[in-house]
Structure 1
Amino acid sequence: MTDGAPGTDGATYAWAPTEPAKRKNRSGLWIGIPAGATAVALIAASLVLIAPGASVAGVQIGGLTAGAAAQAISSRLADTTITVDSPAGAVTVTGAELGATVDAAALADKAFSDNPMWKPAAWFPEGTGVSVQIDAAEAAAALSAKAPGAYRAPVDATLAYDAGSQAYVTTPAQPGEGIDTAAVTAALQSAFDAGTPATTVEATLVPVDAAVSTEEADAAVASLNGILDSAGFYIGDERTVPVDRATAASWLTVTPDGKGDFAISADESAIAAAVQGLPAAVNRAAVNADVIVDTGGEVIKTLTEGQTGRTLGDTGSVAAAFAKQLADGNGRYALDVAETAFDTTKTERRIDVNLSAQTTTLWQNGQVYRSYTISSGAGDHATHTGEFRIGWKTEMQDMGCVPGYDYCTKDVPWVAYFNGDEGFHGTYWHNNFGTPMSHGCINMTIPQAKELYDWAYRGTEVSVHY
């Protein structure tokens, strides 16, 4: 019944309000939230922190992230102080001034990988050592700035083009002198390993090498002189258009970087001027070859060398391409040409000696070129038959005139031997041609012998028969 509603007896009744529902007690939940959140945070932190007790070269990095650990390692190294006692007095430098470095990021990452906080078994590991590196140039600069009396600067090797010798030459490096950076490095390493922020070391004066050594300059000189030795425009292996050494050197600029490298560059505009003259030097018509051959077609004498014709291709990109090649140390530029083949004219020559007819006939390309009446060897000195070739030739010679010969004929002209001491030659002591008269040679008139001498090259076939 609704509150204040009339009853069946006419009276009005009032109901007591409904007892409110009992509220749940959540105080325990609110009390537990901070503790739970802390636990979650600790668990999350353990996933990114390095285990307690971890150290690198005396630097405690336990409980740090890898990034914070790397910073701590680098800071400790940079702040480590070395007091150097040298013949020039005591100087104090820091790791930062010496250009000291370690791969702190890699070390920290490895420390976390090997010893994460979430892995209790990895807590309190043994410390990790590390190799300290020093920038030699920074160290030398720092030490020399603080103790200038202890230093004599080294002199770098240099190179230059020498016009007199038309070659690049080296001026050798000269060593300097300074505080022994190796001793300083060892002291810094020892202090860093021990976790000591400062240490003292005695260091002597030692030679200081130049930044650019003689050997480095010599290597660059060898490369440059190699360019000068070969500079030119090539067709195949032929240096068709040489570039003289002085001109090639004038194209080149050598820029040292102060660390031993010598960069080469080339003047493209100067090369372009040379390229303009290439067509006149390269283009040519073909030249046909002219050769003498035997009956088998083998060449026994080349009268005119054959030469291919050639036409230079487009030269628009040659200067730029050659400049790049020179910068890379290559002085041989290969030209693009179109070639025209040459023809070869072959002339076949042979000599026929007929002892029965006492004739010598010169045959050329299957046709009689000349025929002469001769005198061959007589009696016991008959000329030998067979197939021979012209060998040694001489314009004049004494024949016989030595022990073992029963004759001596002076100044025999136009001699062309074909079989040992048997040969063709001119004759001035008789005119009885057509009759065997000699000691084995083929006697001819002097003009005929001269003609044969000039016509028959070494290797010409000689057939002697009856």
Structure 2
Amino acid sequence: MTDLVARPDADASSPDDETSVIQTDAETGDATAYEWAPAEPARKKRRLWLWIGIPVAVAAVGLGAASAVVIAPGTSIGGVPVGGLTPGAAAEAVEQRMADTTIVLTSDAGDAEVTGAELGATVDAQALVDAAFAARPAWNVGEWFAEPLDAPIAIDAAVAGGALRSALPGLYVDPTDSKLAFDVESATYVVTPSVDGEGIDVDAVHAALADAFAAGDARVTIEATTAPVDPERSTYVADATAGILNRMLDSAGFYVGSDRAVPVERKTLASWLTIESGDRGTFDISADANAIAKAVKGLPAAVHRAPVDATVIVNSAGTVLSTPTAGVVGRELDSTAGIAKAYAEQLANGDAVYALPVEETPFKTTNLARMLEVDLSEQRLYVKENGAVVDSWLISSGLPNTPTYTGHYTIGYKTSVQTMRGYDRDAQGNITGEYETPNVRWPMYFNGGQAFHGVYWHSNYGNRMSHGCVGMPEWRAKQIYDWAPYGTDVWIHA
């Protein structure tokens, strides 16, 4: 047993007082030893509120500050947890998970695996994280542990196709590109169609990758299925290019206005052109300016021509009845500088119509006002042009009982030969019978049933002989038939 006693000289109020420690034997009760122990100091009052409050306050401040810079707990983008992370750390986590997600492909040709990074898969992590942080900051308790946010995944088909082909080459059959060539025999551009190949279905792999990412699976196994592989240059692109080239062949040449003054032969144009594979499965057209320059040298001589004046037949009102001689504009090409280069550039753009810069000389037009004039008293026909008599001969007009009527008329119906029919009349105009005359040549009607025509049944010209028509030798009838177009003025007078 041990008792504590105070030292006799100790001051009860002194904080430094020592206390004696007396050890007593448990059986005899004698004290066998003692020592002085320092007295226990009085306990000071502890300000617990201060020691507890400081950490709590610090924690509260820390939580409030963190809630302003991190995403709400329980938030996930796709299958990637980002709660409690800053936007920067969250974006890195999403991108890393996308890159590391692995697709294991199984097939009869073997097994292989590819990662999201190898497939060229991308996710707009920063935009998704920024949107998540804007909608779900940590201080917004109502958004804690909300539904996962969708994370659309893009995939580069070309990169993915290359990675899958490298992983399982035995599942691939190469496609055949379409071809385009000039066929000399038909002088046209013809197409050899493309043929689809076969390879791993990139869309199926894309879908599996998206599902795995959304589910938070770092690794997923799927069966490698195949799908058609498009050729780089498809048939429809070749057909469209062939259409452009063949239209160029149809229209190729050097033009003055709408006139193809100097055509370019189809085979010649094809020899100037080169067709090569372009970007994204297209065809590029180019032209050899040096080859074109050889043809350009001969353009001035081929284009040059003198003007040709026009001649037109008109009536008294000035209406054009026919054009015996069409007018032709004169033209001259002074220089060929730069034409070959410019035409080569046009051809490369699919345009084979080159407009030449020529100087033109206009033509003059001569009007011929023609008239057939019959003087019944003279029994003569006068052929007039612009008021002047150009020819004249005797005719046979209508008898007194079937007269040729006077007046101004115009040529209407014309025919090279016909059978004429009509009525015989007496002096009083009464019908006494009918007539029929076959093979009448070169009739030209001007007043109902009255016409100019050739006569083969008499030669008594200068006397009235007919049923109202104006008769003449057949060769003369042919002469005015060719000379007087439809609408030519006719004047019959006494």
* TM-score of the two chains, using structure 2 as the length reference: 0.77
- Per the TM alignment, residue 178 of structure 1 is displaced from its structure 2 partner at its CA by 2.4
Task: Provide the residue aligned with 2:477 in structure 1.
Answer: 449
Task: Provide the residue aligned with 1:430 in structure 2.
Answer: 458
Cα pair 1:117 1:123 within 8 Å, conserved: yes
Q: Which of residues 416, 419, 425 is equivalent to 2:444?
A: 416
Q: Which of residues 67, 90, 93 is equivalent to 1:72?
A: 93
Deviations 1:247-281 (A, max 9, x none): 22222222223632112222222222222222112
Instruction: Tell me which amino acid in the other structure corresponds to 1:427.
Output: V
Q: Which of residues 111, 124, 127 is equivalent to 1:103?
A: 124
Match status 1:311 vs 2:332: yes
Q: Which of residues 259, 269, 272 is equivalent to 1:238?
A: 259
Alignment of 1:43-62 (within 5 A): 50=71, 52-62=73-83
Cα pair 1:86 1:205 within 8 Å, conserved: no
Task: Provide the residue aligned with 1:180 in structure 2.
Answer: 201
SS at 1:160's partner residue?
A: strand
Alignment of 1:61-140 (within 5 A): 61-62=82-83, 64=85, 66-115=87-136, 126-140=147-161
Cα pair 1:86 1:179 within 8 Å, conserved: no
Task: Provide the residue aligned with 2:284 in structure 1.
Answer: 263
Match status 1:383 vs 2:404: yes
Q: Cα 1:49–1:312, aligned 2, differ >3 Å: closer, same or farther?
A: farther
Q: Cα 1:321–1:182, aligned 2, differ >3 Å: closer, same or farther?
A: same
Alignment of 1:291-302 (within 5 A): 291-302=312-323
The number of residue pairs the alignment matches comes to 428
Task: Provide the residue aligned with 2:214 in structure 1.
Answer: 193
Task: Provide the residue aligned with 2:489 in structure 1.
Answer: 461
Cα pair 1:150 1:179 within 8 Å, conserved: yes
Cα pair 1:426 1:443 within 8 Å, conserved: yes
Cα pair 1:422 1:440 within 8 Å, conserved: yes
Q: Cα 1:446–1:212, aligned 2, differ >3 Å: closer, same or farther?
A: closer
Deviations 1:81-113 (A, max 9, x none): 111233434322222222222233433343344
Q: In structure 2, what is the Cα distance between the partners aligned to 1:226 and 1:193? A: 53
Q: Cα 1:321–1:377, aligned 2, differ >3 Å: closer, same or farther?
A: same
Task: Provide the residue aligned with 1:439 in structure 2.
Answer: 467
- Per the TM alignment, residue 79 of structure 1 is displaced from its structure 2 partner at its CA by 1.3
Whichever of the two has the greater Rg, that structure is 2
Deviations 1:171-190 (A, max 9, x none): 11111222322222211110
Q: Cα 1:229–1:109, aligned 2, differ >3 Å: closer, same or farther?
A: farther
Deviations 1:215-237 (A, max 9, x none): 12211221222222222222222
Cα pair 1:87 1:205 within 8 Å, conserved: no
Q: Cα 1:424–1:135, aligned 2, differ >3 Å: closer, same or farther?
A: same
Alignment of 1:133-282 (within 5 A): 133-257=154-278, 259-282=280-303
SS at 1:241's partner residue?
A: strand
Q: In structure 2, what is the Cα distance between the partners aligned to 1:353 and 1:132? A: 98
Q: In structure 2, what is the Cα distance between the partners aligned to 1:208 and 1:124? A: 44
Q: Cα 1:307–1:393, aligned 2, differ >3 Å: closer, same or farther?
A: same
Deviations 1:288-337 (A, max 9, x none): 11122111112212121111122325432322222222222222222222
- Per the TM alignment, residue 52 of structure 1 is displaced from its structure 2 partner at its CA by 4.9
Instruction: Tell me which amino acid in the other structure corresponds to 2:95.
Output: S
- Which runs of 5 or more residues in structure 1 are unaligned? 1-31
- Per the TM alignment, residue 49 of structure 1 is displaced from its structure 2 partner at its CA by 5.5
Q: Cα 1:120–1:226, aligned 2, differ >3 Å: closer, same or farther?
A: farther
SS at 2:106's partner residue?
A: strand
Task: Provide the residue aligned with 1:363 in structure 2.
Answer: 384
Q: In structure 2, what is the Cα distance between the partners aligned to 1:76 and 1:399? A: 105
Cα pair 1:217 1:260 within 8 Å, conserved: no
* TM-score of the two chains, using structure 1 as the length reference: 0.81
Q: In structure 2, what is the Cα distance between the partners aligned to 1:50 and 1:285? A: 88
SS at 1:438's partner residue?
A: coil
- Which runs of 5 or more residues in structure 2 are unaligned? 1-53, 423-432
Deviations 1:402-424 (A, max 9, x none): xxx94444554444333454322
SS at 1:263's partner residue?
A: strand
Q: Which moved more, 1:160-169 or 1:405-414?
A: 405-414
Cα pair 1:140 1:181 within 8 Å, conserved: yes
CA RMSD of aligned residues (A): 3.2
Percent of aligned pairs with the same amino acid: 52
Instruction: Tell me which amino acid in the other structure corresponds to 1:363.
Output: K
Q: In structure 2, what is the Cα distance between the partners aligned to 1:386 and 1:425? A: 18
Q: In structure 1, what is the Cα distance between the partners aligned to 2:146 and 2:355? A: 66
SS at 2:341's partner residue?
A: helix
SS at 2:351's partner residue?
A: coil
Instruction: Tell me which amino acid in the other structure corresponds to 1:460.
Output: T
Q: Which moved more, 1:118-127 or 1:337-346?
A: 118-127
Cα pair 1:87 1:204 within 8 Å, conserved: no
Task: Provide the residue aligned with 2:371 in structure 1.
Answer: 350
SS at 1:418's partner residue?
A: strand
